[in-house]
């Protein structure tokens, strides 16, 4: 049974194809179009999935869209009607799109599929599970859990903004839902907006900014009190009520009432790219702590309702790896599994899996593998011929190694001598994290590397932290981590014995002075609160990446390196060898390693741009 899943028309559109219970291929449209968070119909991703599976549209048993558009339309109409005449401009902007396109989504999907390939309309079966059911399916079915509580939290689907479900064998039951306009995801996005970051993109920046908040600050205590008394009422079961007097997202074109928020917090909304001040950091820490409180309360309610020992997480809020780490430490569940593409892109996979197991009532196929996501290495891969064609196009100079052992040895030596390397191997990762196949890598011991990577490679804000990739066997030597973390979705502390003591006046230091204080013997991946967003690397899942880090360990004694996504700010993660070579030449990266090929930046011909790439990629 072959099923195609699709998510589209909001943000992070994607396509996925499964064959029985096997996940064959999944990819986000942004990787092909080079438009970050591309919401358009995923023509390229669909074509890739069909090509990889070796099937046509007529061979599919079903095509599944990740939510119910008419139910979402009902929510929009009821919201505008309930708040009228407020929201007229937003209503006038939204309705033409809905009436022209989304009201007739079945026809739109059929028409868009025609652009991928011809097919028999009569044979095409279209299905539409609810948004949060797609999220729940994406997290539960790839596991080997026969039973699990499932918690999904995001901005909003149709009506639901969070759900607690129970998965047992091939079925999922929805036990409890939180409904719009009350949403933890939208609350976090509202603070993202007020602190000057882009909604649906900058939330991870807010999470990274939070540790710069002063935990002993009077302002922090005041901000938490304001949030919990004026903005949100938090119930014991984790459900919340947002005071709509302070929010605009339901009916307007902005997230919050800026005048009222300024009166509450004592400072105006920060302009994008302007200076970050301590009050921004303190507010970021306040909303992070409130978010963690709500997530843990929701998880406790999921435990109470299900009695399960396993928990599955999905939805955009499940990408908050700091909250995930706190949830893990709360020991509410024995095991926690987080879908690596927890946001809307993962809905494409969840839709396909929900159709197979619920709509078609097909059983799950358990294997000895814990995780059927295959390390999330589910995207396109490229041959030696593809790499050489790219090199000929750009007259690029390279060294071709005889075998991968030679590649790993040479790359490890380059890392140990302070070079920054674009690392491109095998199938592209699915989800927002680079996991060692489309990564920029460096030496975690180097005290200058965090600054260099942010300012000269990624061209992004200097406060942003970097993640470690660590051999699973060595993870406990570096971090207080008691489990696997293959998808970089858990934050835990660097071990105490590796930490450097903070100066007495640390909390009085400026943001940059805090940033560049050397906090451990692996300073480039140690955030200012001594935490790290950890990726454990497993030989069984990614033998090439594991071998590289193991070679680095043989040279240095450290089985850990810096791993950040292979892109610059505003650009999607690279997909093709050509994308990777362009990124090498546009930055101050030192080397590019694709397959067995090593490109030294110093040996390349002069790079000429046909357009300003910094304008090509809109800042996120």
So what's the pLDDT on residue 554?
98
So what's the pLDDT on residue 454?
85
Count Cβ atoms within 10 A of the Cβ of residue 507 and give its class: 0-12 exposed, 13-18 middle, 19 or more buried: middle
pLDDT beyond 90 at 426: yes
So what's the pLDDT on residue 313?
98
Q: Give the phi and the psi of residue 93 in degrees, each rounded to 5.
A: -75, -35
So what's the pLDDT on residue 613?
64
So what's the pLDDT on residue 95?
72
Count Cβ atoms within 10 A of the Cβ of residue 56 and give its class: 0-12 exposed, 13-18 middle, 19 or more buried: middle
So what's the pLDDT on residue 518?
87
So what's the pLDDT on residue 146?
95
Q: What is the pLDDT of residues 483-510, one digit of tens each?
A: 999 999 999 999 999 999 888 887 777 7
CA-to-CA distance for 279 and 191, rounded, in angstroms? 12
Q: Per-residue pLDDT averaged across 313-322, rounded?
A: 97
pLDDT beyond 80 at 94: no
Q: What is the pLDDT of residues 105-147, one digit of tens each?
A: 899 999 999 999 999 999 999 999 999 999 999 999 999 999 9
So what's the pLDDT on residue 101?
62
CA-to-CA distance for 5 and 125, rounded, in angstroms? 12
| pLDDT confidence bin for 98, thresholds 50/70/90 | low
| pLDDT confidence bin for 375, thresholds 50/70/90 | very high
So what's the pLDDT on residue 103?
65
Name the CATH superfamily, with its identifier, for domain 1-139+342-372. ATPase, nucleotide binding domain (3.30.420.40)
**pLDDT above 90 as % of the chain:** 82
Strand 597-600 relative to strand 490-493: parallel, antiparallel, unpaired?
Answer: unpaired
CA-to-CA distance for 211 and 460, rounded, in angstroms? 18
| pLDDT confidence bin for 400, thresholds 50/70/90 | very high
So what's the pLDDT on residue 615?
67
* Mean model confidence pLDDT for the chain: 93
CATH topology of domain 384-616: DHBP synthase (3.90.870)
Q: How many residues appear in the chain?
A: 620
pLDDT beyond 90 at 253: no
Q: What is the pLDDT of residues 540-588, one digit of tens each?
A: 999 999 999 999 999 999 999 999 999 999 999 999 999 999 999 999 9
> Which residues touch 355 (CB under 8 Å, ≥6 apart)?
3, 5, 62, 64, 127, 129
| pLDDT confidence bin for 611, thresholds 50/70/90 | low
3-state secondary structure at position 500: coil
Q: Per-residue pLDDT averaged across 25-32, rounded?
A: 98
CATH number at 143-338: 3.30.420.40
Q: Per-residue pLDDT averaged across 511-530, rounded?
A: 87
So what's the pLDDT on residue 102?
66
CA-to-CA distance for 177 and 10, rounded, in angstroms? 21
Q: What is the pLDDT of residues 37-81, one digit of tens each?
A: 999 999 999 999 999 999 999 999 999 999 998 787 778 778 776
Q: Give the phi and the psi of residue 583 in degrees, each rounded to 5.
A: -65, -40
Q: What is the pLDDT of residues 125-135, one digit of tens each?
A: 999 999 999 99
Q: Do domains 143-338 and 384-616 have the same CATH topology?
A: no
So what's the pLDDT on residue 504?
81
Residue ranges of domains in the chain: 1-139+342-372, 143-338, 384-616
Q: Dihedral through CA 429, CA 433, CA 439, CA 442, nearest 10? A: -150
Q: Which residue has the tokens 């099937």?
A: 55
3-state secondary structure at position 436: coil
Q: Which residue has the tokens 């903070």?
A: 502
């Amino acid at each position: 049974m072959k099923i195609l899943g699709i998510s589209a028309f909001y943000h992070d559109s994607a396509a996925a194809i499964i064959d029985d219970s096997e996940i064959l291929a999944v990819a986000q449209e942004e990787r092909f179009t080079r438009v970050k968070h591309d919401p358009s119909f995923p023509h390229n991703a669909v074509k890739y999935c069909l090509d990889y599976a070796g099937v046509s549209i007529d061979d599919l048993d079903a095509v599944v869209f990740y939510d119910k558009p008419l139910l979402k339309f009902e929510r929009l109409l009821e919201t505008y009607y309930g708040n009228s005449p407020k929201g007229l401009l937003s209503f006038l902007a939204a309705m033409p799109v809905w009436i022209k396109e989304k009201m007739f989504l079945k026809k739109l999907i059929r028409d868009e599929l025609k652009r991928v390939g011809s097919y028999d309309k009569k044979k095409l079966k279209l299905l539409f599970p609810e948004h949060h059911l797609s999220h729940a399916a994406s997290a539960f079915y790839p596991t080997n859990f026969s039973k699990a509580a499932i918690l999904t939290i995001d901005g909003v689907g149709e009506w639901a903004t969070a759900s607690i479900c129970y998965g047992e064998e091939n079925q999922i039951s929805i036990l409890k839902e939180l409904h719009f306009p009350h949403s933890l995801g939208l609350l976090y996005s509202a603070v993202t907006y007020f602190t000057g970051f882009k909604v649906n993109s900058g939330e991870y920046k807010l999470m990274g900014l939070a540790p710069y908040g002063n935990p002993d600050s009077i302002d922090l205590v005041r901000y938490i009190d304001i949030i919990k008394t004026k903005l949100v009422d938090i119930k014991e079961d984790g459900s919340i009520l947002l005071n709509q007097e302070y929010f605009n997202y339901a009916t307007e074109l902005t997230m919050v009432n800026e005048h009222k928020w300024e009166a509450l917090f004592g400072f105006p909304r920060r302009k994008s790219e302007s200076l970050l001040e301590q009050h921004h950091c303190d507010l970021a820490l306040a909303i992070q702590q409130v978010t963690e409180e709500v997530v843990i309360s929701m998880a406790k309610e999921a435990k109470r309702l299900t009695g399960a020992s396993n928990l599955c997480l999905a939805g955009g809020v499940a990408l908050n790896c700091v909250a995930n780490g706190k949830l893990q430490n709360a020991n509410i569940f024995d095991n926690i599994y987080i879908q690596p593409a927890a946001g809307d892109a993962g809905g494409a996979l969840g839709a396909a899996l929900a159709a197979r197991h619920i709509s078609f009532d097909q059983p799950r196929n358990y294997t000895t593998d814990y995780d059927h996501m295959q390390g999330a290495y589910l995207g396109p891969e490229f041959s030696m011929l593809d790499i050489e064609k790219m090199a000929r196009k750009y007259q690029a100079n390279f060294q071709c190694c005889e075998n991968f052992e030679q590649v790993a040895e040479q790359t490890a030596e380059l890392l140990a001598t302070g070079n920054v390397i674009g690392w491109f191997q095998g199938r592209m990762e699915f989800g927002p994290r680079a996991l060692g196949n489309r990564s920029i890598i460096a030496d975690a011991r180097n005290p200058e590397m965090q600054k260099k990577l942010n300012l000269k490679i990624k061209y992004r804000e200097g406060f942003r932290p970097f993640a470690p990739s660590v051999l699973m066997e060595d993870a406990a030597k570096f971090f207080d981590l008691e489990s696997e973390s293959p998808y970089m979705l858990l934050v835990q502390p660097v071990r105490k014995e590796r930490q450097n003591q903070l100066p007495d006046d640390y909390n009085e230091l400026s943001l940059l002075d805090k940033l560049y204080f050397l906090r451990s013997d692996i300073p480039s991946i140690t955030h200012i609160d001594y935490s790290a967003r950890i990726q454990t690397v497993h030989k069984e899942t990614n033998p090439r990446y594991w071998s590289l880090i193991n070679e680095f360990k043989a040279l240095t004694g450290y089985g850990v390196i810096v791993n950040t996504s292979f892109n610059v700010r505003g650009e999607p993660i690279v997909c093709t060898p050509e994308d990777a070579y362009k990124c090498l030449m546009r930055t101050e990266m030192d080397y590019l390693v694709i397959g067995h090929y090593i490109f030294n930046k110093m040996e390349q011909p002069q790079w000429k741009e046909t357009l300003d790439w910094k304008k090509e990629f809109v800042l996120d």
